[in-house]
Structure 1
Amino acid sequence: MATQNYELMVIFTPVLAEDDFKGAQKKFADFIKENGGEIAHLNPWGLRSLAYPIEKKTTGLYWVCEFNAPTELIAKLELQMNRDENVMRHMVNKLDKHAVAYNLKKRNKNAEATA
């Protein structure tokens, strides 16, 4: 079964407490792992302003997850996100080898800068 590299960005409702935000991240990361995916990198951006109001909210809790998984997982994952009332928006992008290499390079550069 072939796997693809993906990047998932989720905007959670800003009314979540810190523990709830972490729990929501864990829920989707665990869902990916349980369905044959492998997490490459997790990046909680935290509270950010939205470009336009969504459901009368001007901010959202952003979370980015880079993973590789079988193609069938994406439909299941999107169904789970559509059912979750804490998710305001989500987007899954398929990454080509150049995007994966760029993200890895960027992560390594950031790790060196903070070290």
Structure 2
Amino acid sequence: MNNYELMVIFTPVLSDDEFKAAQKKYTALVTENGGSVVAENPWGLKSLAYPIQKKTTGLYWVLEYSAPAEFNEKLKIQMLRDESVLRQLCTKLDKYAVEYNAKKRSGVKTGTEKAVEA
């Protein structure tokens, strides 16, 4: 089981219910294929750096999960078929990134955050 972080930009025309249903769909896909969801974070509506399909905003969602390596291809195919997904990026996390994300979620300040405060 490897650890991954998935960032998805959904089209901004989705309602809140549709946005939540899409999130639930992909978290269910992870668990159905032998993975487990570590954390999810809906960022909401944000401006895009450049227009995608003539849209200047998008609904951002970040999912951290652990799953077998072969699952990512299934996930990618599902995302490409989904018309509500503008962009997606799946990143494999190393042990340091997993540790950093866990500290960030628990509220423990990291070395870089302590340096910024000083």
Instruction: State the TM-score, normalized to the length of structure 1.
Output: 0.93
Q: In the alignment, which residue of structure 2 is the partner of 1:54?
A: 52
C-alpha distance in 2, partners of 1:85/1:66? 22
Q: In the alignment, which residue of structure 2 is the partner of 1:27?
A: 25
Q: In the alignment, which residue of structure 2 is the partner of 1:45?
A: 43
C-alpha displacement at 1:102, in angstroms?
0.3
Q: 1:107 aligns with which of 85, 102, 105?
A: 105
Residue 67, structure 1, aligned to residue 51, structure 2? no
Give the match's secondary structure for 1:5. strand
Aligned residues: 108
Q: In the alignment, which residue of structure 2 is the partner of 1:94?
A: 92
C-alpha displacement at 1:18, in angstroms?
0.3
Q: Structure 1 regions of 5+ residues with no counterpart?
A: 111-115
Q: What root-mean-square deviation, in Å, do the aligned CA atoms of Structure 1 and Structure 2 show?
A: 0.8
C-alpha distance in 2, partners of 1:37/1:44? 20
Identical aligned residues as a percent: 62
Shift >2 Å, 4+ stretches: none
Instruction: State the TM-score, normalized to the length of structure 2.
Output: 0.90
C-alpha displacement at 1:22, in angstroms?
0.2
C-alpha distance in 2, partners of 1:42/1:93? 14
C-alpha displacement at 1:30, in angstroms?
0.3
Higher-Rg member (1/2) = 2
Q: 2:81 aligns with which of 83, 97, 110?
A: 83
C-alpha distance in 2, partners of 1:26/1:96? 26
Q: Which amino acid aligns with 1:55?
A: Q
Q: Which amino acid aligns with 2:90?
A: V
C-alpha distance in 1, partners of 2:23/2:49? 22
